[in-house]
Amino acid sequence: MRGGFMRILFVTSTRIGDAVLSTGLLRHLLATHPAARFTVACGPAAAGVFARMPRLERLIVVAKQPWSLHWPKLWAQVAFTWWDLVVDLRASALAWMVPARRRAIGKGGRRPGHRLTHLGAVLGLSPPPLPIAWTSEEDRARAADLLPGGPWLVLGPTANWSEKVWPAGRFVEVARRLTAPGGGLAGARIAVLGGPGEGERAMAAPVLEALPGAVDLVGKLALPEVAAVLGRAALYLGNDSGLMHLAAATGAPVVGLFGQSDAREYGPCGPYAVAVSADGEPFRTSMTRLPVERVVAAAEGLVRQAAPA
């Protein structure tokens, strides 16, 4: 400890979903070390997850390079600081190559069980703390301008791999059924979210075309603004993706759709979050084997559960 406060180095994921799940550990460390200051190292896509984190002293963006040259560059930025705690979720050698009072290092490779449980074990936490989404007043104000009033049904029809995407027509059918008179979100307005890039835009395009009244937010917001938008959702419905995990971290009701991934490993984690899986073995199951009726039932049940008493 130097100058009356702790310095904690936290090395986390390059992917948004894994980075969001790791925020539960930071939530715990913020609560248990109220004087600590944090340096977070993560990949470029995940940087927005931590941009509004309290007591963030430094955010180091680590872009992968050939022959793992990003690790020496990261080491050069952190090796000359005395760390009270180094948490390395990447299971690299970095934690052993910097001066530290204490180290907590994750395990590499795939293992049974949910990723959140594995992360909690790094600090000996069981049950593991739920993820959190940090936003600023400005982010929340912009979200309120974009999605005034409510309720809002927010759709996430994209993913980082096309095989994880539920057919666009089924998103549309569920949205229409939920927002129709008598539906679980009768009268709700619809917004569509997605990441930047032409691939995400192409995946979302059929949904936006079929729902011309929906608010198009695909690729238009910074990640903290996305989190603020998600926090206004009466329900978020989306494929297994970083957006799904971010939505759950805001505390919004979330229905995550699975087929070409395993909900037992990466299901959404939040106070109101459920996973709905296609029929068949994970990773070998087409998303077309997830019927509309199952998703509607899960969504309506979750909306009832999350409704104020």
Task: Please report the pLDDT score of residue 168 as a whole number.
Answer: 98
Mean pLDDT of 138-152: 97
pTM for the full model? 0.96
- Which ranges constitute the DSSP H helices of the chain? 16-32, 47-50, 70-78, 115-122, 137-146, 168-179, 198-210, 223-230, 242-249, 263-266, 292-306
Q: What is the pLDDT of residues 173-186, one digit of tens each?
A: 999 999 999 999 99
CA–CA gap between residue 22 and residue 258 (Å, rounded): 21
Rounded to the nearest 10°, the torsion over CA 198, 248, 262, 68 is: 60
Could you state, in order of their start, the residue ranges of all structural domains in the chain? 7-122, 137-306
Residue 227: how many CB atoms within 10 A of its CB?
A: 29
The pLDDT value recorded for residue 107 is 87
The CATH superfamily label for domain 7-122 reads: Glycogen Phosphorylase B; (3.40.50.2000)
pLDDT of residue 110: 78
**pLDDT on residue 307:** 87
Give me the pLDDT at residue 105, please: 96
Residue 257 reports pLDDT greater than 90 = yes
Please report the pLDDT score of residue 4 as a whole number. 65
Give the pLDDT confidence score for residue 278 in this predicted structure.
97
| pLDDT tops 60 at residue 2 | no
User: Cα(118)–Cα(12) distance, rounded to whole angstroms?
Assistant: 13
Measured distance CA(292)–CA(309) in Å, rounded: 28
The pLDDT value recorded for residue 258 is 97
Over 90: is that where the pLDDT of 54 sits?
Answer: yes
Q: With 70 as the cut, is the pLDDT of residue 1 above it?
A: no
DSSP 290-305: S-HHHHHHHHHHHHHH
CA distance 132 to 135: 10
Q: Look at residue 250 and tell me whether its pLDDT is greater than 80.
A: yes
Report the CATH number of the 137-306 domain. 3.40.50.2000
Asked whether this chain's domains 7-122 and 137-306 adopt the same fold, the reply is: yes
Report phi then psi at 45, rounded to 5. -65, -30
Q: What is the pLDDT of residues 270-280, one digit of tens each?
A: 999 999 999 99
Is the pLDDT higher at 107 or at 100? 100
Average pLDDT over the chain, rounded to whole? 95
Q: What do you get for the CA distance between the two ends of the chain, in Å?
A: 46
